[in-house]
Structure 1
Amino acid sequence: MAGRMAGKVAFVTGAARGQGRAHCVRLAEEGADVIAVDICEPIRGVPYPGATKEDLAETARLVEAQGRRIHAAQVDVRDRAALGAAVDAGVAQLGRLDGVVVNHGITIMKPWDQVTPEIFDDTIAINLTGVWNSVMASAPHVVASGGGSIVLTSSVAGIKALPFLVPYVASKFALTGMAKAFAAELGKDDVRVNSIHPTSVDTAMSMHSSATQEARDAMDAALAGNPHLGGMYGNALGLEVTTVDDIANTVLFLLSDESRVVTSVAMPVDAGCSAY
């Protein structure tokens, strides 16, 4: 069914590449205009390259190639004022806001006793506080548009604990609860809120990524000291890694009217990783 987002506007964080770019393009294919933000710079301690301004420009080009409009801005989600200004400017340009995909996040894999205060603080600030900032900046616009859908990207690590990721797991479990709490309060305004829970996706941050060696090296180093935990990352379907399109199709469903009675759901998109 084509045009499932026709006449709608979606806001996507972490939009410069990976899952965020895929969401922007998939939603544009179905008729949405897009507000896209990304930090577009490296983040301390993160063992994979940061997105760039050029990456965000390419996302904008791909959306425009679908015949859709886009308002793109370089913003750090930890800066609530700047984030709010970017969303406000996008709504002013595009006229409304119907859907939100809070997609950004970082992961720094370390055994528990190698996690520094800086790693913990940065992970929580980006993966949790930055998500709260994103919802607070965008939800009033969705309410003003008469309702819509908000999707928070958690992780399979927001359903079951995964080793060597204590700060990440803490942030992602928190998002699972945050989505349900927002769903309860925003339901009266016809705003649905759900979380999605991917397993490893073929992006720069994944240990299975085809784009970088650093994440794989971090996993190998962690497993060297505790090898029997490696099986916790296995997927029941036997896939080692999923694609950005797998996740984007789920986001499209949750933002479209096809899911108009779906809210407060923690939806695994994990090839069965949460099954065991």
Structure 2
Amino acid sequence: MADRMAGKVAFITGAARGQGRSHALRLAAEGADVIAVDRCAEIDSVAPVYSMPTEHDLAETARRVEELGRRAVARIADVRDFDGLQAAFDSGVAELGRVDVVIANAGIVSFGRSWELTAEQWQDMIDVNLTGVFHTAKAAIPTMIEQGDGGCLLLISSVAGLKGRGGLAHYSAAKQGVVGLMQSLAGELGEHGIRVNTIHPTNVSTPMIQHPTFYGMFSPPGAEPTLENAEPAMRAMHVLPTPWVRESDVSDAVAFLAGDEARFVTGAAFPVDAGVGVR
């Protein structure tokens, strides 16, 4: 459906790579212009685990959107900084004219048993993965209401947003908080024709999981933390025979929920989990 998003504008956080870039390219391929936002700098509590995207990555997302024949506005902003995020949103809307789809995708992950997490790890996780989602919605909603023709917010949660995961207490708490935020927003915004849903992916093959720390959570005790050693346990998580899903699998859900086919879907927690939820 190459014209599903024709004439629409999508505002996407965490758009420099991974899921965010995939969502931007999928919606652009279906006709949307894109406001792409990312922090493009390291976060100290995450840096020992994996590196954050760069300004080059964000520019590459914009280039690839434009290669699809759509307009792109790329802005550097930290979702923890509401004023900076609002400025990025406002400049994008000023250039592209409106906003129809908001994808609160920016997120981080780190690992540790709950009582061993540092205060910095906890706070960064809540600030990015929960408060950042709230900031994204808050920045966009007044414009969407003023436009008067509906729209949708898609908040990217996780399977950990439906069931807590060991070694991820702070991540699970933030992602489950996103579900409560979604339900509240869906109730508030229905009268304006604005739909709000969460998407709950299982492991997604992005830089967030492609590192030894993540592999170590799934590798047998004493085994080297490699993808080869981790894959059997990652596969065993799922009812369907896969250790992970691709970014494009999540973008398929984004495209459906953003489109008119889902015009009466709101307040839903939409899994893309290969059956984790029925294990």
- Normalized against structure 1, the TM-score is what? 0.93
SS of alignment partner, residue 170 of structure 1: helix
- C-alpha distance in structure 2 between counterparts of 1:232 and 1:249, whole Å: 21
1:231 offset after TM fit, Å?
A: 7.9
Counterpart of 2:53?
Answer: 51
Counterpart of 2:227?
Answer: none
- The reply to whether residue 23 of structure 1 matches residue 26 of structure 2 is no
1:215 offset after TM fit, Å?
A: 2.9
Identity %, equivalent residues:
47
How big is each residue's C-alpha offset from its partner over 1:110-138, in whole Å with a ceiling of 9 and x where there is no partner? 12232111110110001011110000001
- The reply to whether residue 195 of structure 1 matches residue 194 of structure 2 is no
- The reply to whether residue 263 of structure 1 matches residue 266 of structure 2 is yes
Counterpart of 2:111?
Answer: 109
Total equivalences in the alignment: 266
Instruction: Confirm or deny: 8 A CA contact 1:162 1:233 kept in the other structure.
Output: no
Residues 76, 57 of structure 1: alpha-carbon distance in 2 compared, 3 angstrom cutoff? same
**Shift >4 Å, 4+ stretches:** 220-224, 230-233
Instruction: Confirm or deny: 8 A CA contact 1:78 1:125 kept in the other structure.
Output: yes
Q: Which moved more, 1:259-268 or 1:103-112?
A: 103-112
Counterpart of 2:230?
Answer: none
SS of alignment partner, residue 97 of structure 1: coil
How well do the aligned residues superpose, as a CA RMSD in angstroms?
1.7
Residues 215, 11 of structure 1: alpha-carbon distance in 2 compared, 3 angstrom cutoff? same
SS of alignment partner, residue 155 of structure 2: strand
Counterpart of 2:151?
Answer: 148
Unaligned segments of structure 2, at least 5 residues: 223-232
Instruction: Confirm or deny: 8 A CA contact 2:201 2:273 kept in the other structure.
Output: yes
- The reply to whether residue 167 of structure 1 matches residue 170 of structure 2 is yes
Counterpart of 2:98?
Answer: 96
- Normalized against structure 2, the TM-score is what? 0.92
Counterpart of 2:229?
Answer: none
Q: How does 1:210-229 map to 2 (within 5 A)?
A: 212-217=211-216, 219=217
Unaligned segments of structure 1, at least 5 residues: 225-229
SS of alignment partner, residue 254 of structure 1: helix
- C-alpha distance in structure 2 between counterparts of 1:103 and 1:235, whole Å: 23
1:160 offset after TM fit, Å?
A: 1.1
Residues 164, 221 of structure 1: alpha-carbon distance in 2 compared, 3 angstrom cutoff? farther
How big is each residue's C-alpha offset from its partner over 1:144-190, in whole Å with a ceiling of 9 and x where there is no partner? 23210100000000111111000000001110111011000000000
- C-alpha distance in structure 1 between counterparts of 2:234 and 2:200, whole Å: 18
Residues 24, 223 of structure 1: alpha-carbon distance in 2 compared, 3 angstrom cutoff? farther
SS of alignment partner, residue 129 of structure 1: helix
Instruction: Confirm or deny: 8 A CA contact 2:205 2:247 kept in the other structure.
Output: yes
Instruction: Confirm or deny: 8 A CA contact 1:39 1:77 kept in the other structure.
Output: yes
1:90 offset after TM fit, Å?
A: 0.5
1:37 offset after TM fit, Å?
A: 0.3
- C-alpha distance in structure 1 between counterparts of 2:194 and 2:127, whole Å: 25
The amino acid that maps onto 1:133 is H
- C-alpha distance in structure 2 between counterparts of 1:267 and 1:70, whole Å: 28
